[in-house]
Amino acid sequence: MLTAACGKQEGSQGSMSDTLKKKAEDAQTASSDVKDNDEASPAEPEETKEADEQPAEPEEVKQEILTEAECRAKIELLRGTQPVHPTEARTLSDMAKLVAFSKVLNEQGAIFSKMDNYTRAILRSQIIDEIMWGESVFYEAIPVESSEGRYEADSLIKVDDAEGLFKDIYGEEDFTPAEYEHVEDGYILLSFGDGEPWHTIEHMQFFEDENYFLTSGPAFYEDNGGCVSFVGYEDILFMKNPDSRYGVTLLYGRYRDDKIKVSYVETSSELPEAKGKTYSGMNLVDGDYSTVWAEGVSGTGTGETITLHLDSEQPVYGVQICNGYTADYDLFTKNGKLTDVKVEFGSEKAMAGSLEEGYAYEGYSPEDLAYTNLSRIELDEPVVTDTITIIITGAAAGEKYDDTCVSEIRVY
């Protein structure tokens, strides 16, 4: 039975104290009877006394309670170990994806069972979605009934069933319906609308010690329009919990905004400075969507290269490219953009791919143009490197110029 937000387990004691009390009373009565008949009966052999004595049951060993600070420290310890491939990988992965999709985490981090009720309600809503649809381990975890016109709802689930599931997944101890959670006659009433933007976690790695699991991987924001942007690394700490139907319970989660630093950028060519504007490779890593690198050769720049030199060797999953001259709509449409690239991650791994077509509208800000023109080129597994080279294998000219422009590149 999970009794604490971050890691305490307690076995059911039942009526153990009553049992021990009864045994003590019986032993005392037996001792009194022996004394009353001491003269008539011979002393009981020592061996028989020892055989009749019942050893006290050992107390359950309780798992140490973790504070938020201790959860963060545990995450760092686990990240310093070698990744594992646990048999629980499917369950851990589905739980981490559920958390990401619900968008309940931030960089401050939180113990799931101690989040405010509104935030927990968002997580509960996603759990219910997983029960209803999809292929996760939560699908059909508890019965879902048709409303059949009894209530103003599409479907129903029993509160008792839901409470048990919420407890198993994230340690809910006191289910109290939030403002938009409708409960009536012992049922949670379910109605469904249009989807909202979500987060995903990809390329998950698993870490483990005696009492905990950790999942960690890059997370991305997605919307129904197909736009995707990197938001950081999602770390989810789980407690091993034999009382949960899944064998684990969500403990603590956070986003980690660890930026991979680029020391300098080397390019095969660039446009010369003009009207106070520069087009150097360092514009690709300045965090400013109004500045760009532009290749400086005749044509659209097929074959030109961008080489990112990182500040140290480190694990790299991929690159996110902000394509085109995103300073404003006019510059975006007049200048060229990448269509295809090959990315070399050090000397061991390379990946070729096409960039998203993207789109732009008049009046879009640099941030809007950047968001709608992001593409990722990534590996299935991270590689340790300090050098990434991007080779232009395809580009499209703009309405006025054939200079191929790139606004930003982020390594993750």
pTM exceeding the 0.85 threshold for the entire prediction: no
345, containing H or E segment: strand 337-345
C-alpha distances in Å from residue 212, one per residue of 55, 68, 77: 33, 15, 11
Residue 393 C-beta-side C-alpha neighbours within 13 Å: 13
The 10s digit of each residue's pLDDT in 361-396 is 999 999 999 999 999 999 988 999 999 999 999 999
Q: What pLDDT, in 10s, does the model give residues 8-33?
A: 333 333 333 344 334 434 444 444 44
Span 110-164, pLDDT tens digits: 999 999 999 999 999 999 999 998 899 999 999 999 888 888 888 999 999 999 9
Per residue in 34-72, pLDDT tens?
A: 334 444 444 444 444 444 555 555 554 456 679 999 999
Which CATH superfamily, name and number, covers 262-411? Galactose-binding domain-like (2.60.120.260)
User: Mind listing the pLDDT tens digit for each residue in 79-94?
Assistant: 999 999 999 999 999 9
Distance CA 234, CA 334 (A): 38
For residue 408, give the H/E element and its range.
Answer: strand 405-411
Instruction: Show the tokens assigned to 411.
Output: 């390594």
Q: Is 217 a residue whose pLDDT tops 60?
A: yes
% of the chain beyond a pLDDT of 90: 73
Give strand ranges (E) for 105-245: 110-111, 145-146, 155-158, 182-184, 187-190, 198-201, 205-208, 212-222, 228-240
What pLDDT score was predicted for residue 194? 58
Burial class of residue 38 (count of CB atoms within 10 Å of its CB; 0-12, 13-18, 19+): exposed
Judge whether 77 and 66 are in contact, CB under 8 Å.
no
The domain locations on the chain are: 68-256, 262-411
Angle between helices 89-102 and 117-132 (to 10 degrees): 120
Report the candidate in 123, 161, 117 with the shortest Cα–Cα distance to residue 140. 161
What is the C-alpha to C-alpha distance for residues 237 and 256, in angstroms, rounded to an integer? 13
- CA-to-CA dists, residue 274 to 265, 279, 291, 294, 393, angstroms: 20, 9, 13, 12, 27
User: CA 65 to CA 398: how far, in whole Å?
Assistant: 60
Q: What is the pLDDT of residue 42?
A: 43
| Lateral strand order in the sheet of 155-158 | 145-146, 155-158, 187-190, 182-184
Q: Pairing between strand 198-201 and 212-222?
A: antiparallel
Residues in the chain: 412
